[in-house]
A and B are shown apart, each in its own frame.
Chain A
C-alpha cells in the first residue's frame, strides 16, 4: 500500500466524518430526516470552485466565503422543514438534492456536466500544500469539527434539539421555538457540509455534478445509521467503515451500492441504534444518560440532600 493511497483513503474518511457528523446533527439531534445531504456538500464544493476558478479568488477567502454560503443556503433549504409535516421533509430534501444537481448540470455558469476543473490547492506563505500536508490540513479541520460538535452536545442547544426531535408541541411548551431550532440545525449542518465540500473539492481539484447526486446522500446516511444515529462517535466510525469497506473488499468494488443498501437494511433490522448505540446499550443497559452524568448528578443531588438536612 503506497503512502499516497493511504493518504487519499484517510482524507476521504475524514471528509466523510465531517459529513456524517453534519447529517447526524439534523437527523440524530434535531430529528429532521434529510435525504439530500449531498446537495449541501455540493454547494460547498461548487461555491469554492466558482470563487477560486471563475472569480480568481485565493483559497483562504474562498474557504470562508464558501462555508458561509453553504450555511446560508443550508438555512434557505431548511425552510421547507418549517412547514412540511415531518415525514415529508424526506421528500422535500430528496427534491432539493435533485434540483441542486440539475442546476449544476444544466446551468452553464456551473460548468454543466463537465464540471469545473483546475481548483487550486491551498497555499501558505507562498508554498502550495503537498498531498501529505493537505491530509494534515484536513485532519486539523476534522479535529476542530469533532471538538465543536462534542462541545455543542453538552449545551442547551443540544437539549433543545432533543426536545424538538422527541415532540415538537412539548418542545414549544417549554420554550423551544421549533422554527428557530430547525433553522439552527440546518445552518450548522450546512456549514459543516459546506466545509466538507470545500475540503473535498480542493483535494480533488475538480468538481462534477454527479459527485453530489442522490446516491451520495444515501452513502452519508449509511454512515450515520450504521455508526449510530444521535451518538457522537457513531457517525465517525460509520464514516470510516463506509469509506474503507469498498477499499478492503476491492473485489467487491463494483457492489458498492448493493453493500450500502444491505448494510442499511440489516442495521435497521437487527440493531436500529447502530454499532455504537448497540454497544452502549449492551454495556450500560438502556440508560439514556451516560454513566458519567448519572454519577455527577448523584453527587450533586446527594450534596443537596445533606444541606437539606436529610
Chain B
C-alpha cells in the first residue's frame, strides 16, 4: 500500500514537471504544444551526453536546463509566434512537425538506443520493512516539492507571475492593460521548457535510461493531466498529476489490466474529454 503510494508520487512528480509547461502554454496561447515532449527528451539526453563527456552532474544539469529553456524560447519566437493568427490547425500541425523533427534529430545525434544515466547521487536509499525508494526516487520527490513551492511563489508573489496569470486569463485584455504579453509568453516558454527538461532528467535518472523517443508517451499523458486539471490551471495540473498517477498505479495493482498502463491513461483521457470536458477542476465554459 505505502509502496504503491510512493510509486505513484514519483510517477505523479514526473507528470507535474511536463504538465506545468503545457498548461502555461495552453492557458495563454491556446496551443497544444506537442513539441514540449521534444524538450523533455532533449533535457535528459543532453544532460547524459554532458555527463558522458565528463562534466559533473550539477553542471551538466544546469547547462542542459539553460539550453532547453532557450530551445523552448526559439520554438515560440521562431515558430509559433508567426502562425498564431492562422487559425488553430496551422500551429497545431506545426507543433507536430517540430516534435517529429526534434525526435529524429536526437536519434541521429545520439543513436536510437536506450542509454543508462550513470551518475552517483549523494542521497540514501530509503529501505524499510514495507517500502523501498531509491535515492533517485527520493531526489525526484524532493526536487519536485521544491519546484512546486518555487512555482507557487513565482506565480502568486511576483510581478511576473501576476502578468503571467493575467495573460492566461485573457491575452488580449492583458495586452490592453499594458502588460508586455510577448515577454510574458516568452517567459512562460522559458519556465515551462526548463521544467520539462528537469522532468526528463529526473525520470532519466529514476529509470536509469534515456532514449530519443522517451518524450512521446509521458507528454501525451501530460496532456491527460492538462485536461484533468481543467486546461490552464497550474494548481489543477499539479493535483491532477498525482491523481492520475494514483489511479494508474492502483488500477494496475489491484485489478490488473489487459492493456499497459499508458493505455489506461489514454482511455481515461478520452472518456474524460467526452464526459467531463471542462476537467475535474475547470470552470464551465461554452
Real binding pair: yes
Binding site for B on A (CB under 8 A): 27, 31, 33, 35, 79-80, 83-88, 90-92, 94-96, 98-99, 102-103, 106-107, 214-215, 218, 221-222, 225, 229, 254-258, 260-265, 268-269, 272
Would A258 and B96 be within 8 Å (CB), given that A84-B277, A86-B88, A265-B79 are in contact?
A: no
> CA of A85 to CA of B30 in the docked complex: distance in angstroms?
12
Cα A232 to Cα B23 with chains together (Å) = 37
State which of A95, A96, A99, A264 has its C-beta within 8 Å of the C-beta of B259: A99
Residues of B within 8 A of A88 (CB): 32, 227, 273, 277
The 4 closest A-B pairs by CB, nearest first: A264-B97, A261-B101, A261-B100, A95-B266
Segment from B40-48, B62-70, B103-111 that makes contact with A: B103-111
Return chain A residues, CB-CB under 8 Å to B270: 80, 92, 95-96, 99
Counting CB contacts under 8 A, is B145 at the interface? no
> Which residue of chain A is the closest to B217 with respect to CB atoms?
A98
Q: How far is the CA of A229 from the CA of B270 in the complex (A)?
A: 26
The residue on B at minimum CB distance from A265 is: B97
A interface footprint on B233-271 (CB within 8 Å = 1, 0 otherwise): 000000000000000000000000011101100110110
Interface SS of A by simple majority: helix
Within the assembled complex, what's the spacing in Å between the Cα atoms of A239 and B269?
A: 31
Please report the total number of B residues contacting A with Cβ < 8 Å.
43
Pick the residue among B83, B94, B105, B277 that contacts A258 (CB under 8 A). Answer: B105
A98 to B79, CA, bound (A): 27
Does A260 lie within 8 Å of B100, measured CB to CB?
Answer: yes
Query: With A and B bound together, what is the CA distance between A286 and B23 in angstroms?
Result: 37
A214–B124 alpha-carbon span in the complex (Å) = 40
Judging by beta carbons under 8 Å apart, are A35 and B96 in contact? yes
User: Is B266 in contact with A99, judged by CB distance below 8 angstroms?
Assistant: yes
Q: How far is the CB of B276 from chain A (nearest CB, A)?
A: 10
Residues of B within 8 A of A86 (CB): 88
Asked if A102 and B260 make an inter-chain contact with CB atoms under 8 angstroms apart, the answer reads yes
10 CB contacts below 8 A, A to B, read: A88-B32, A88-B277, A91-B224, A99-B263, A102-B262, A106-B259, A106-B263, A258-B108, A261-B97, A269-B82
